A and B are shown apart, each in its own frame.
Chain A
Amino acid sequence: MATRSRARRREMDIDENEIITMENVTKSYSSGAPALNGINLHINRGEFVFVVGDSGSGKSTLIKLLLRELTPTEGDIHVMGYDLVKIRHGKIPKFRRNLGVVFQDFRLLKDRNVYDNVAFAQRIAEVPTKEMKKNVPSILAMVGLAGKYKAKPRQLSGGEQQRVAMARALVNRPAILLADEPTGNLDPKNSWEIMNLLEEINEQGTTVLVVTHNPEIVNEMKKRVITMKKGVIVSDVENGEYINED
């Protein structure tokens, strides 16, 4: 009896520690084979996870489901305690404020300077102006852009723009950071700077999920690697390596 209750407690501890849970998730579009087919994925708080795979393997669909841009055709998704299948439309903004997101193409507001791009995330979260004036310079210093707060995105290099995007994603101290091909448009030097920054953020407690095509980075960093192919997870390995399909 005592053994069973210990086991139950351990199971609950594991559940509480899980920040992303996908159970039997299938996503089909109107035509063709499903983009995701019966995915099961469990990610704990504080983990650093790579998701790799060829084009069409379902990585982008996975990210869109975690952002609640899409809903699954079948299955359950829980992120930070939110049931993403049942969540009401009005609750989605609050959910997203706890979820930093970085894209390959940076997606900065082009007509606003660095400071305003980062401050925008704080305004959306209705952070008081006084706090915002402390938080934004502090996060810009962390990503190494304190001196460029007045610059417009077009005046920055690709690496700098990606760091602005990361500052914006992190300024509200999200529990999870989703990065969709964050180094896709960057040279190797800038790519490593971004990856080092992501690792630093992870060490401070943020769960980081990175979708990438870059084998060097994946192989070098020795993190958990989830490999996808044709909508299913084909391998999920701690300290894994990039599996080259060729």
Chain B
Amino acid sequence: MRISTFFYTFKQGIRNIFRNKWFSLASIATIGACLFLFGMFYSIIVNFQHIVKTAEEGVSITVFFDEGIEDSRVEEIGNLIDKRPEVSKKVFVSADDAWNSFKDEYLGEYSDGFTENPLADSENFEIYLNDVSMQDSLVSYLESLDGIRQVNRSEVTANTLSGMNMLIGYVSVGIIAILLAVSVFLISNTVTIGISIRKEEINIMKYIGATDFFVRAPFVIEGILIGLIGSAIPIGIIYYLYSVVITYAAARFNMLSQLLNFLPVGDVFATLVPVTFGIGAGIGFLGSIATVRKHLRV
């Protein structure tokens, strides 16, 4: 292909956008609307998951040992716990650590009356999980080990978080399916309008002796550009809204800052921007190919 042909094709693609400005606007609006919904939903989902994950990381199981257990057995149990896939972190709390912590938290200066450590038998492992839904299996395993007196766990929190995770999963699948169906419907409508506008033009090109590539290329360039513009607009809007919402939430619900732990804008957009532009360009590419393809066999 000649360089002049390449530039001509590219120029035609850009000019096509302005030639059919209403069609272009309709396409940009359609793609923009779909990607706006996608972006909003993605931001909500990742934040929800982040909040749940943060809460999950705070849920721990405490393992107490039999009285008079030997240090070597404690070490063995520690090694066995480390090998479990559901464990993300394990902290050893000695009897002295437990007593100091208790003193600081509840007794203060009144602790002076104690000459011995009343929590002598309370050395333990604090175990943090990767996924709270695995709590039951880990507890069963721990209870089956020799040398373990008691396993404390937070059943209500674990069940709530586990249920929430499942709910998010189902809602995600449902909303994505609805969004996809709406997108396909809107885009196929826009493409149908595109076909009626372009049919005659494509026929003329083919009669004069244009190759399929020559006919297709400006439409494809036009489609990709429309897709990219249709992506940039919702990205900009979501960026603005997201910044406003997290700033507002941080200020308005200061008390809940531990619970409402939002992801920073950069973390969300590091994935959202390339994915949105990719989907936008992809929709534009496929839409234009589908529009032209039907009419190339002239």
Contacts and interface: CB of A to CB of B under 8 A. Distances in A.
Interface string B192-210: 0000000011011111111
B209 A96 contact: yes
Nearest to B298: A69
B204 A94 contact: no
Interface in A60-117: 67, 69, 89-90, 93-97, 99, 101, 107-109, 111
Interface of A: 67, 69, 89-90, 93-97, 99, 101, 107-109, 111, 120-121, 123-126, 128-129, 168, 172
B200 A107 contact: yes
Contacts of B214: 93, 124
Contact of B210 (A90, A108, A124, A172): A124
Contacts of B206: 93, 96
A96 B208 contact: yes
B5 A111 contact: no
A111 B18 CA distance: 11
B73 interface: no
Contacts, number: 51
Given A93-B210, A107-B200, A111-B19, A129 B4 contact: yes
B2 interface: yes
A126 B5 contact: yes
A109 B19 CA distance: 12
Contact of B209 (A69, A93, A108, A129): A93
Contact of A107 (B204, B210, B212, B298): B204
A93 B203 CA distance: 12
Contacts of B137: none
Contacts of B115: none
B207 A96 contact: yes
B211 interface: yes
Given A111-B19, A126-B5, A121 B208 contact: yes
B4 A109 contact: no
A126 B2 contact: yes
16 contacts: A69-B298, A89-B297, A93-B212, A93-B214, A96-B207, A96-B208, A101-B207, A109-B201, A109-B204, A120-B205, A121-B208, A121-B209, A123-B8, A124-B210, A124-B214, A172-B209
Nearest to A171: B208
A125 B200 contact: no
Given A121-B208, A121-B209, A124-B214, 10 more contacts: A90-B211, A93-B206, A93-B209, A93-B210, A95-B209, A97-B209, A107-B204, A107-B207, A124-B205, A168-B208
Interface in B18-40: 19
Contacts of B209: 93-97, 99, 121, 124-125, 172
A120 B4 contact: no
A101 B211 CA distance: 17
Nearest to A132: B4
Contacts of A93: 206, 209-212, 214
A167 B211 CA distance: 21
Nearest to A107: B204
B5 A123 contact: yes
A99 B205 CA distance: 13
A125 B210 CA distance: 8
A20 to B, nearest CB: 17
Interface string B209-242: 1111010000000000000000000000000000
A121 B214 CA distance: 12
Nearest to A125: B209
Contacts of A124: 205, 208-211, 214
A141 to B, nearest CB: 21
Nearest to B1: A126
